Structure 1
Amino acid sequence: MALPLPRQRHVSATRAGSGPGVRVEHVGRALRVTSRVVPEDIRGGEIKIDWLYQQFHDIPLDAPEAIVRATARAYILFQIGCSLFPNPSGNMVHLKWLLHLEDFDLCGALAWGAAALAHLYRALGNACIRGKVECCCFGTLVQIWAWDHLYIGRPEVVGPQPELVDMPLGCRWNTRLAFRDNVRTTDIEFYRDQLDQQLESQVSVLYSCIESCN
């Protein structure tokens, strides 16, 4: 999966706590479900991702606009919990994000890409701490970046190049791939050794102004 996320937009600060407006009543109003449908096990302002899938994975083709909008909010919330801003629970997503999904025009003006990168960098930094065994980040984004920039671990594209008109650049990897000797599944020592020996000429730099920027 590759998501196009705007980076140069408005920035919004979101509190970590549940706070007012993200309780059962707000969930029911934003997602157009009755209070009895909303699960009772909302803990710390978080809701189960599986509940979102069970309630919104299928809607009628003739559904009214209000239901379509509610389903869109649920889908975005699902992607936030699964991909963009995952947390250590692995199956929960915070309801604070619903506050940013009320108005789709305002939602689209937010810098989701910048927020995802900030979350990613913080998660990667935490994963480097001794004793940490997990990394709660958008792993697909890390993988695509590595394939674009580094030879080590990069598969060879052997299938036809997909059309990228109005598509995220990451979709160019959505084709048939071949994994050669430069790719290992679980050999950490192999990657450490190869990365230590990697030459500057083997790193792909996408920005021509990189030297002047330094």
Structure 2
Amino acid sequence: MLNTKPSEPTEEQICQYTRAYVLDLFGSMFFADSSRDSVPAMYLQFIQDLDSLEQYNWGGVVLAYLYISLCVAVQRKTKLMSGPTVLLQHWCWSRLPTGRPRPLNDWSPNWGNPNEHEYPAFGDKWCCLHDYRQGHNWSGVSYFRNELQKLEDYMVKWEPYNALLNQIPCKLPLRVIDERGVWLARVPLVHFWIIEHY
């Protein structure tokens, strides 16, 4: 029997697979639209040179796309929501008591004692096992609309990461802490023709 060992991928093959992965992330996660199976060609220019990807403010671009997607969803009489809905879901779960799953174990992730570069991201707290079965599971959209209408300002946890910031040592990745100065920046978020003031 011949021992066939797979050959090492070439640099070009690695780049091709990386481009395909990034393009899939753009179309399915960051800039998803209602087509569900296509990615606009306008993003191809950004993956031609993979080294240039880090020059762009992708967080701002994704937020701009989310904001315009929310505006479109509430203005039109449609049941379609596009954009980075996972980001919106994480934001809601971290701040609003309505519709949030209950963790099966401890509420916060097991941060352990990594170094300051390896602390998990804040959203990692939702990666543990959760119980999604709640009394309102079969209530439909009207239940959630009603619960959201009843929310008062004091019920919203506007800065859920403050507990982590106040710990010594701080339990957020160093790159997040280093960018703390722009957390409350007032800047336009730009995504092609979309300009959202933030």
TM-score by length of 2: 0.67
Gaps of 5+ in 2: 1-5, 113-117, 163-182, 187-198
Matched, 1:77 2:23: yes
Whether contact under 8 Å (2:136, 2:143) holds in the other structure is no
| Aligned ranges 1:96-135 → 2 under 5 Å | 96-135=42-81
Give, in angstroms, the shift of residue 181 of structure 1.
3.9
The answer for the alignment partner of 1:156 in structure 2 is 102
Aligned length: 151
CA RMSD of aligned residues (A): 2.6
Q: Cα gap change, 1:203/1:101 in structure 2, threshold over 3 Å: closer, same or farther? A: same
The answer for the alignment partner of 1:184 in structure 2 is 137
Partners of 2:15 and 2:98 in 1: how far apart?
43
- What is the letter of the counterpart of residue 99 of structure 2? G
The answer for the alignment partner of 2:158 in structure 1 is 205
Q: Cα gap change, 1:179/1:141 in structure 2, threshold over 3 Å: closer, same or farther? A: same
The answer for the alignment partner of 1:138 in structure 2 is 84
Give, in angstroms, the shift of residue 185 of structure 1.
6.0
Partners of 2:139 and 2:13 in 1: how far apart?
44
Q: Cα gap change, 1:146/1:185 in structure 2, threshold over 3 Å: closer, same or farther? A: farther
Report SS of the residue matched to 1:93: coil
Partners of 1:146 and 1:179 in 2: how far apart?
15
Partners of 2:13 and 2:35 in 1: how far apart?
29
- What is the letter of the counterpart of residue 70 of structure 1? Q
Identity %: 24
Gaps of 5+ in 1: 1-59
Partners of 1:120 and 1:83 in 2: how far apart?
11
Whether contact under 8 Å (1:86, 1:137) holds in the other structure is yes
TM-score by length of 1: 0.62
Partners of 2:56 and 2:154 in 1: how far apart?
37
| Aligned ranges 1:84-103 → 2 under 5 Å | 84-103=30-49
